Amino acid sequence: MLAFLHSQSWAGQTYFQWLMALGLVLGTILLRRPLANSLNWLFYRAFSERNLEKRKRFHDLTGQNLRRLLVLLALYMALSILSIPTHFQWFGKPYRLAFYLDILLQLGLVWTASKILLRIADFVAGVWQDKSEINSDPARAQWVPYIKDGIKVAVILSAFLFVIGIVFQANIAALVGGLGIGGLAVALAAQESLANLLGSFTIFLDKPFTVGDTIEFKGITGTVEHVGFRSTRMRTLDKSYVTVPNKALVTEPLNNITESTHRRAAFKLGLVYQTKPETLQAIIRSIREILEANPLIEENPTVTFFGYGESSLDLQIIYLVKTSDYNEYLQVREIVNFEIYRIVDEHETDFAFPTRTMVTVHEDGSKT
């Protein structure tokens, strides 16, 4: 039987070659799901512990592409079993069928394998992110998206070099040398991008803030949600999404509100000029007392008669709230403002607002 399969041929291939190639392809198609599940389990155990939810997530990310990869591998092996002619004639023109099929299958293998590696990078980054949240480690959580992006860039670059060097058999050394010659021009053109990249390294190493911190930068206050290669993205108090280049964050003054132990409140209070000196002194004492009595306000607040305004007697009030939480700070400030309003009302005076007094001098010298 075996001798018969080797001795008989069809379309230039022995029956044995056809049987091996078709059996390999059909067998892989029929068994691709259990084979992919087994490989998926091995890959999953290499990157995570036993967890049904995580395993399902890993399978959803890589299962379909892994099945495609197995079928492509079977087709590639089947092509190597068959002795396909290097050239064939089509309407009198020669074509390199085996070469084109080999190129297409190799490209498909590289493309599918790259997609699997990128999905694995997403899964591993998700596992690290979950562990960082469980351990309350914001510094580690900040590194996760950065490392994930780095792995993805490495996978894409490796796939590109593999296609150029192995599939198309180009001279990688000559290609890299050519890139080196044009490297100066590229560097000059990409100065801003390189500066932002170095800025991201500075952020990760110096840690002026981490993901989740609330920062204030050039009048913008928001919570940091992502630190990338080029920019940092944060969510402002009005829920808008602001992107700031990393270069600016490491070269300009930045206030990390989360790391602050206090929040400062400073404002001027204007009273009408009809306020008597003793009333003004009593108001200053009362405001100072309510500030010192509040447990969330730092000791020794500042309440002084600051000066004479155009339309008001100006008091300056400065105090520190013992919190970094913005909402709690606003609540304390609201309480203080209501207390000040009550104090001014109790002393039977009023808040000043811009006023002008016009004096008319008549011909007889009288004024009105």
DSSP 136: T
pTM exceeds cut of 0.75:
no
Chain Cα centroid distance, residue 239: 16
Q: Please count the other Cβ atoms lying within 10 Å of the Cβ belonging to residue 137.
A: 14
Start-end of CATH 2.30.30.60 domains in the chain: 191-256
* DSSP SS3 for 350: coil
Q: Is-contact 213 224, C-beta < 8 A?
A: yes
| Residue 318: half-sphere exposure toward Cβ, Cα within 13 Å | 6
Walk along the chain (368 residues) and give the pLDDT tens digit of each residue: 556 555 666 656 676 677 777 888 888 888 888 888 888 777 777 666 666 677 777 777 788 888 888 888 888 888 777 766 555 555 555 556 666 777 788 888 888 888 888 888 888 777 777 776 666 666 666 667 767 777 887 888 888 877 777 656 666 555 555 555 555 455 555 567 677 777 777 777 777 888 888 888 888 888 888 887 788 888 988 888 888 888 888 888 888 887 888 888 999 999 999 999 999 999 999 999 999 999 999 988 999 999 998 889 999 999 999 987 878 889 999 999 999 999 999 998 999 887 776 777 776 666 66
CA distance 199 to 245: 8
Q: CATH for 263-346, among 3.30.300.30, 3.30.420.40, 3.20.20.105, 3.30.70.100?
A: 3.30.70.100
Task: Quote the DSSP letter at residue 92.
Answer: T
Residue 360 per-residue DSSP state: P
List the one residue out of 74, 43, 225 whose CA is nearest residue 141. Answer: 225
Two structure tokens written together for 104? 């297409």
Architecture of domain 191-256: Roll (2.30)
Whole-angstrom Cα distance, residue 175 to residue 169? 12
Q: CA–CA separation, 233 vs 26, rounded Å?
A: 50
Following CA atoms 172, 177, 178, 183 in sequence, which dihedral angle do they give, to the nearest 10 degrees?
120
CATH 3.30.70.100 domain position(s) in the chain: 263-346
Q: What Å distances lie between residue 45 and 38, 42, 49, 261, CA to CA? A: 11, 5, 6, 44
Angle formed at CA 205 by CA 236 and CA 215, multiple of 5 degrees: 20
CB 291 within 8 A of CB 271: no
